[in-house]
Amino acid sequence: MKREWDLLHTPGPTPIPPSVERSMNQPMIGHRGEKCKELMNDIAPRLKPVFGTSGDVLVVTGSGTSALESAVVNVTQPGDDVLVVVAGAFGDRFAQICETYELNVTRIDVPWGEAVEVDQVERALRENSNVKAVFLTHCETSTGVMHPIEKAAERVKEMSSALVIVDGVSSIGGAELDMDGSGIDILVTGSQKAMMLPPGLAFVAVREEVWPVIEQNPRPRFYLDLNVYRKQLQAGQTPFTPALSLLFGLQQMLHLVEEEGLENVYHRHLVMKEMTREAARALNLPLLVSDEDASSTVTSIKPETFEAEQFRKVAKEEFGLILAGGQKHMKGQIFRIGHMGYCRPANVLQYISIIEIVLKRLGHEFTPGAGVAAAQAAYLKHTRED
């Protein structure tokens, strides 16, 4: 059982700000009444900047995967040619969803721990002349890579009329993505990561220009038919009973983000990335991902002198510090630190300090205090007093 003092640093779910928790704890309202309408009308425009779009952001009750699936079913038909960048477990999931819906999938395979090169996408587009859509993952949570999505989207748009569909489940709310500016057509996320909410909401941002494709798509769909979500949103409604408590929380989450300023939120995530990576280097902990490809929301460490799972066990048992392990073939090879959403540089200093003690317990060689000092130095380097 999770103890109250546990420190949750997985790359989702993530901790919830107390004010968001309090907001969720409100008396229930009817989802067809005025109050819910007011809530939806308030939330809808405020979500747009978080996705970098002036288009509609639809709120679906479901996990992040429902948002991925909704993107697939709404813009494709069986037999369509699509490209999917697969650089980890979540790129693979996107490919699996496309295969399930009988698309003709060409996987662009990238070694785990590396980012896709825009030229790889270009080559795949040249080799497949009739591509309907390109599916990409912004932050590949299983490795901690952040792909150059904006550049890739721009290249796709220069070369073709293919749609660009992006999984931003572990980045949106923590990392900037200029959806409209770069030509991303659909950008999706879930609530339980950088959005600072519990699991249960999925968000689907749709660029205005894409609606005709969705409207004219003959593929049957029901719960995930985005046309219905859009129509209902225009009336301040959702087609089905929404997760109302999560919507209360979302309203407060948006308030917190607006109060801090989106630019500052993104900068805070970059600072936390630098702090974590500099500390890892100072502690002789090998980083899985290069500086260039590293995500600002999750960092993967690939230890050589001790077992990753043993490290996670000691951190959890002694300090309640909960980190994630590797997925699929990376299981046992890496551990992953989530630093997104309701997470601040102060939390990074705390987990680095704990990590040092755990490393001592495991007999790893390093200079005590070196990780904390490096994190402090990175913090000072990347911030300034006003």
Ligand X SMILES: Cc1ncc(COP(=O)(O)O)c(C=O)c1O
Q: Which positions touch ligand X (CB under 6 A)? A: 12, 63-65, 90, 137, 141, 167, 169-170, 190, 199
Nearest distance from C-beta of residue 11 to ligand X, angstroms: 7
Q: Which is nearer to ligand X, 49 or 200 (CB)?
A: 200
Q: Which residue is nearest to ligand X (CB)?
A: 64
Q: Which is nearer to ligand X, 199 or 325 (CB)?
A: 199
Nearest distance from C-beta of residue 94 to ligand X, angstroms: 8
* Residue showing tokens 């609530």: 191
Q: Which is nearer to ligand X, 52 or 198 (CB)?
A: 198
Q: Which is nearer to ligand X, 170 or 182 (CB)?
A: 170
Q: Which is nearer to ligand X, 312 or 364 (CB)?
A: 312
H-run or E-run covering 124: helix 118-127
Q: Are 313 and 302 within 8 A, CB to CB?
A: no
Nearest distance from C-beta of residue 199 to ligand X, angstroms: 6
Q: How far apart are CA 169 and CA 188, in angstroms?
A: 6
Give me the residues paired with residue 300 across strands: 336
C-beta atoms surrounding 25 within 10 Å? 10
Q: Which is nearer to ligand X, 177 or 378 (CB)?
A: 177
Nearest distance from C-beta of residue 37 to ligand X, angstroms: 27
Q: Are 152 and 101 within 8 A, CB to CB?
A: no
Q: Considering only CA atoms, which of 80, 73, 101 is closest in space to residue 188?
A: 73
Nearest distance from C-beta of residue 331 to ligand X, angstroms: 15
Nearest distance from C-beta of residue 65 to ligand X, angstroms: 3
DSSP codes joined into one string, 132-153: EEEEEESEETTTTEE--HHHHH
Q: How far apart are CA 319 and CA 167, in angstroms?
A: 33
Token pair in block for residue 213: 């494709």
257 contacts: CB under 8 Å, gap ≥ 6: 50, 173, 265
